[in-house]
């Protein structure tokens, strides 16, 4: 039988090992119903109800009984917080698992793959969003499987919808001109930072002033992937930042009085209104990031370098989202090559071409209907 008790510290006034009002840590020791010994260890909680819940989980696991969905989801969300995931990522899991709990308020092992197929069929998201939600479900059930609450991961048998990805659309120079003309000084600075840094709207919304050094180099650890991005900002962007009203002493656009997620959503709404005033169709804040990436690729910057500047954890992400702009660069190069071709008369059967004169040694002979061949002059070169 498992037993839990308070492990009182030297200065604690309580003597009872089961004191409810004490704040000393709670430990566990004993033997489960299947004969497995649990060594004396801390339950890493000071709340008695939480300790009782963890004790019940250990006993249920020993008896082969899966915990209720409500306990499994609570445990997983607590683990996400312990791992230090960003609030936005935790929020996505919380909303998804909340809907899962509403659909299946039963034991965890009662959920089947067919149940999850029906659950996913009710989603009205785009294919890319549905794939992301399904991957979150898989992560949750993998966590439950690792804890030995279930034998198999039912979400692994659910196939994701087919995704027909569309090429990302950057803003044109004309659209950028309209947006900047319709923006107030603070919004103008915000748009310019997004456009010339490639940062996401949440990272710019909480951009600290000390993240930009005297040379104009912006260095920031992105919230979504946790990667460090360093990118220089043009002088006119730095001037716009200096001239716009600052929200606080520490941040450019955040007063630090609200939650990080709140200021992000506030700026998303504010930019949406700006795009409407500018009369730019199909505009959203992430297109500023697309503009940054597309311009780099069109200038010939290799995709691995663009991936680093965007903070992508893998170059495959960059190639997946911006492959059209890599192809556009290649097409532009091909057109440059074609423009160097000399026209010739297709009616001529045998046409000799030389780069300068025969003394160069090699001549390209073109014959209609015959593959081009190279001839070497009498000098042998």
Domain residue limits, the chain: 2-157, 173-335, 344-381
Output the pTM of the full model: 0.61
CATH class of domain segment(s) 2-157: mainly alpha
- The pLDDT-based confidence of 165 (bands split at 50, 70, 90) is low
- Separation in Å, CA 213 to CA 190, 240, 280: 18, 15, 34
Over residues 7-53, the pLDDT tens digits come to 898 888 888 888 888 989 999 988 877 677 888 888 888 888 888 87
Mean pLDDT of 129-141: 94
Closest CA to 195 of 228, 170, 225: 170
Helix%, strand%, coil% for the chain, nearest 5 = 50, 15, 40
Q: What residues pair up with 363 in beta bridges, in sequence order?
A: 375
Instruction: Work out the mean pLDDT of the chain and round it to a whole number.
Output: 85
Predicted pLDDT at 272: 96
Higher-pLDDT residue of 369, 110: 110
- The pLDDT-based confidence of 199 (bands split at 50, 70, 90) is very high
Q: Which H or E element spans position 373?
A: strand 370-376
Predicted pLDDT at 342: 63
Task: Name the region of 150 (left: φ>0; alpha: ψ -120 to 50; beta: rest).
Answer: beta
Name the 3-class secondary structure at 168: coil
Predicted pLDDT at 123: 92
Over residues 274-300, the pLDDT tens digits come to 999 999 999 999 999 999 999 998 888
Higher-pLDDT residue of 351, 43: 43
Q: What residues pair up with 3 in beta bridges, in sequence order?
A: 29
Res. 379: pLDDT tops 50: no
Please state which CATH number belongs to domain 173-335. 1.10.443.10
Backbone angles phi and psi of 292, in degrees to 5: -60, -45
- Cα 18 from chain centroid (whole Å): 46
């Amino acid at each position: 039988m498992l037993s839990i008790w308070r492990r009182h510290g030297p200065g604690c006034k309580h003597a009872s090992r089961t004191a409810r009002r004490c704040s000393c840590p709670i430990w566990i020791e004993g033997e489960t119903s299947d004969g497995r010994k649990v060594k004396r260890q801390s339950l890493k909680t000071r709340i008695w109800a939480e300790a009782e819940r963890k004790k019940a989980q250990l006993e249920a696991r020993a008896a082969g009984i899966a915990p209720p969905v409500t306990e499994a989801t609570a445990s997983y969300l607590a683990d996400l917080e312990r791992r230090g995931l960003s609030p936005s990522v935790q929020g996505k899991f919380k909303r998804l698992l909340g809907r899962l709990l509403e659909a299946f308020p039963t034991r965890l092992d009662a959920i089947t793959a067919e149940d999850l197929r029906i659950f996913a069929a009710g989603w009205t998201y785009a294919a890319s969003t549905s794939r992301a939600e399904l991957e979150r479900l898989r992560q949750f059930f993998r966590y439950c499987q690792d804890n030995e609450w279930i034998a198999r991961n039912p979400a692994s048998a659910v196939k994701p919808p087919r995704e027909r990805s569309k090429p990302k659309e950057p803003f044109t120079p004309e659209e950028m001109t309209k947006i900047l003309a319709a923006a107030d000084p603070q919004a103008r600075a915000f748009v310019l930072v997004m456009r010339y840094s490639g940062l996401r709207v949440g990272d710019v919304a909480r951009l600290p002033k000390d993240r930009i050094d005297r040379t104009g180099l912006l260095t920031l650890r992105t919230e979504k992937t946790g990667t460090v991005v360093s990118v220089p900002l043009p002088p006119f962007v730095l001037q716009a930042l200096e001239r716009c009203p600052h929200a606080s002493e520490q941040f450019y656009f955040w007063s630090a009085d609200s939650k990080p997620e709140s200021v992000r959503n506030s700026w998303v709404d504010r930019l949406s209104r700006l795009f409407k005033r500018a009369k730019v169709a199909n505009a959203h804040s992430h297109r500023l990031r697309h503009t940054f990436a597309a311009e780099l690729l069109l200038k010939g910057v290799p995709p691995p370098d663009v991936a680093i500047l965007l903070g992508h954890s893998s170059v495959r992400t960059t190639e997946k989202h911006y492959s059209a702009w890599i192809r556009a660069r290649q097409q532009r190069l091909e057109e440059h090559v074609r423009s160097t071709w000399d026209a010739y008369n297709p009616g001529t059967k045998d046409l000799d071409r030389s780069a300068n004169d025969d003394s160069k040694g090699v001549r390209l002979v073109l014959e209609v209907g015959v593959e081009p061949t190279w001839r070497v002059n009498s000098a042998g070169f």
